[in-house]
Amino acid sequence: MHDDPRPGAPVQFDDRVKSHVVATVCSEPPEGFDRWTLELIRERIVQREVVQSISTETIRLILQEHDLKPWRQRSWCVPTLDEQFIERMEDILALYERPADPRIPLICLDEKPIQLLDDVRPSSGMLPGQCKRVDYEYKRNGTCNVFCAVEPQRGKYFTAVTSKRTAKDFARFLAALARRYASSQRIVLVMDNLNTHRVESLIGYFGEEKAKELWDRFEVHYTPKHGSWLNQAEIAINIYARQCLGKSRIPDLETLHKRTKAWTAIVNRKNVTINWHFTRKQAREKFDYG
C-alpha cells in the first residue's frame, strides 16, 4: 500500500531565478574576491532585482541541484595540441606499453624541492584520544632538493638528497643511475624539459669525452611541454612526499637524507610498482585526434 501523491510545498523560485544563480556563480567574482560565496551570490541576485529576497540556504540548495561547487577547483594543464605535443605524448605512451625488459630498463626521473623547517618548541607526543600537537611557530632552515628515479614496471626506486638542484647535481645523479644499471644494454630515460636535463650538464662536470660516453648509455625521451603529468616519476614523488615527508618538519639535510634512505630501502623491498593505465588509444579518444 502507498500514499497518494502529495503536492508538497509550493515552488518558491522558478527556473528563471535558478538560471540567474547559476549564471552568477559561473561568472567572475567581485573585485577583491577569489571566488563566489553564498552571501556574495545573494547580494548580487538581490542587487539586480531578480528577487526581492533570497536566503543563502536556498542558494546552497540551487547550487547543489546543479552540482556547482565554487569553493573547489582542480588543477589540470590542457595544452594546445600541436604536432610536437602529440608526437612526444605518443612516444612516451608507446614506451609505457612495452613489456618490461631487464636488459633495457625503463626509468622515469624527476626532482622535488623541499623546504627545511625546524620546531621552535618541542612537539607533544600522541596519546589515546589526543593527536600529536605541534606548535604553529617554526624556524626556516633553507631549501634543498631530492632527485627521484623509478623503474615503474619493477617497482625499483632510486633517490638522492642534494643541497641544490644544479647541472652538477643532475650530472652526478645520472652517473650514479648508470652505475646502478651497469649490466643493462641501455637505459630508457623519461624526464621533463628542465634546462639542466641536457648533455651540456654532464659536459660541464665530467668533460666532453666522459660526458658523451655517459649520455650514450641513455635513450632519452622528453615529455612534451606542459605534459610533465606523463612522467611516472611524478607519481613516485607523490608517494614519497605522502609516505616519507608527510606533514613532519624536517630541520636539516642529514635528517632528510636518513629518512629518505630508509623509505627507499623499504619500498624497494616491497617492489611497489606503478600501474599506468593511460594508453595511446585513450589519448586519441580523449583529445580527439588521429
pLDDT tens profile 191-232: 999 999 999 999 999 999 999 999 999 999 999 988 889 999
Is residue 152, in this structure, part of any structural domain at all?
yes
Helices (H) and strands (E) in the chain, counts: 10, 5
- How far, in whole angstroms, is CA 274 from its chain's centroid? 15
Domain match, 117 and 214 both = yes
Question: Residues 191, 230: one domain?
Answer: yes
Any idea what the CATH number is for the domain that residue 144 is in? 3.30.420.10
pLDDT tens column, 146-187: 999 999 999 999 999 999 999 999 999 999 999 999 999 999
5-22 per-position pLDDT tens digit: 666 665 577 888 889 899
At residue 115, the 3 state secondary structure works out as strand
Q: Which domain holds residue 247?
A: 83-126+133-287
Q: What's the total number of domains in the chain?
A: 2
Q: Does pTM surpass 0.95?
A: no
Asked if residue 73 belongs to a domain, the reply is no
C-alpha–C-alpha distance, residues 109 and 204, integer Å: 20
162 and 216 in a common domain: yes
Residue 75 located in a structural domain: no
- Verify that 149 and 255 share a domain, yes or no: yes
Residues 38 and 89 in one domain: no
Asked whether residue 120 falls in the same domain as residue 204, the answer is: yes
All residues at 6 or more sequence positions from 70 whose CB lies less than 8 Å from its CB, including other chains: 25, 35, 36, 37, 63
Do 143 and 233 lie in a common domain?
A: yes
Question: Is-contact 237 147, C-beta < 8 A?
Answer: no
Q: How far is it, in rounded angstroms, from Cα 41 to Cα 28?
A: 11
Residue 10, domain member (yes or no):
no
114 and 227, same domain (yes or no): yes
Asked whether residue 254 is domain-assigned, the answer is: yes
